[in-house]
Amino acid sequence: MNINLFEQEEKVYSISELTGQIKRLLESKFPQITVEGEISNFKRQTSGHIYFTLKDEGAQLNAIIWRSTAANLRTELGDGTKVVAKGSLALYEPSGRYQIIITSIRPVGIGELQIAYEKLKNKLAADGLFDEDHKKEIPKFPKSIGVVTSVTGAAIRDIVSVISRRYPIAELIIYPVAVQGPGAGAEIAAGIEVFNDYNKVDVIIVGRGGGSLEDLWAFNEEVVARAIYSSKVPIISAVGHHVDYTISDFVADLRAPTPSVAGELAVPDQGEIIEDMKSQINSLYYYIDQKITENRKHVTGLLKSYAFNKPVELLRRYQQKIDENINIIETKINHKLELHTQELYSLQKRLTSVNPKSILKRGYCLIEKDKKIITKSDDLFINDDISIIYYDSEKKAKITE
């Protein structure tokens, strides 16, 4: 007897179908998840997206940060950084691998540091250390620049390179310090104080290259903030990269997003100065040329003028005018002189008429006693000595009766 078993037809999946089902199952199961791991194979694409691998001792997970999220990152990421990342799981069908799409990420341990950072920031803001009216202007043409940083880091190389290229006449004085680790903050503050005591630098650059929040913590210490605030010399803070903000940045007179930019902000560009001088010289040449042209036209006009071509006639005209004025003046003077002569003659006649000597000529005389003229006989007494004054002489006499 032959027994035939009915075999049920087996379901056969295409790879796309299977992957699609796994994708839907995975993404619905883990719509939001937080993982911890170490970054490796970190790569930032020109598109702005970031790709890397999160790993621990036993496994690894591909990770993506889309450009829109990456643009708002406030933490410097790189190989070896331990992070806590939040996002959603997704399956990339072309390669059949699953990955996490990260929406937020922070280094491990950033929570406590961030709290301490915000607490100190609020305290210093309340104390007025961030006030704009306290900030000093950076000099345009510094002769000497002090730099407080590590001599082994990339920051000092960037600063030296930029300043030597842009403004090589500036003197650079470097105060080497530790920029991370225990005691780094105190060293940085001491460097600022030394430059203030030295009193021979026009501006101070304080900073270092990028790193994690822990790496940059020395620039978040209160001792550094107080030293920057107390500095009489203007200070440029140049800590980390564009996304890094430290308390030093808020207290300093000027923040530079990178050490290289700090070099650019500290000194002018000699090339730009030369070009500006050339432009001013050209403007001066143009102004002088314009003035010469205007004056040449003016002189040409004078040469063609009636006055310049008929000088003798013009001179005679003025001479005639002078003669006319002299005649007028002489006439007025003579007239005035005649009036004054007549007035003088009239006064003379009046004076003559009242002159006592004119009366004496007619036979009268004056009697004086003790140099006083006697007008009454009652003023004379027996034996008084008197003077009898005639027109032409004077006689002495004595009263006898």
List all residues 6 or more positions away from 142 whose beta carbon is below 8 Å from its beta carbon. 170, 201, 202, 203, 266, 267
For residue 3, pLDDT over 80 is answered with no
pLDDT, tens digit (0-9, with 9 covering 90-100), for 108-160: 765 667 778 889 999 999 999 999 999 999 999 999 999 999 998 889 999 99
The pLDDT value recorded for residue 76 is 73
Q: Are the beta carbons of 147 and 174 closer than 8 angstroms?
A: yes
pLDDT at 222 over 90: yes
pLDDT digits (tens, 9 = 90+) for 157-185: 999 999 999 999 999 999 999 999 889 99
Confidence of residue 6 (pLDDT cuts 50, 70, 90): very low
Interhelix angle 110-126/222-230, rounded to 10 degrees, is 30
Cβ atoms within 10 Å, residue 320? 10
| Nearest residue to 239 (alpha-carbon basis) of 215, 270, 264, 267 | 215
Condensed to tens digits (0 to 9), the pLDDT of residues 264-312 reads 999 999 888 888 888 888 888 888 888 888 888 888 887 777 666 677 6
Paired with 100 in beta bridges are 63, 89
More confident residue, 46 or 314: 46
In the three-class reduction of DSSP (H, G, I as helix; E, B as strand; rest coil), residue 246 is classed as: coil
Whole-number pLDDT of residue 131: 94
Q: Please report the pLDDT score of residue 141 as a whole number.
A: 93
Report the mean per-residue pLDDT for the chain: 86
pTM over 0.85: no
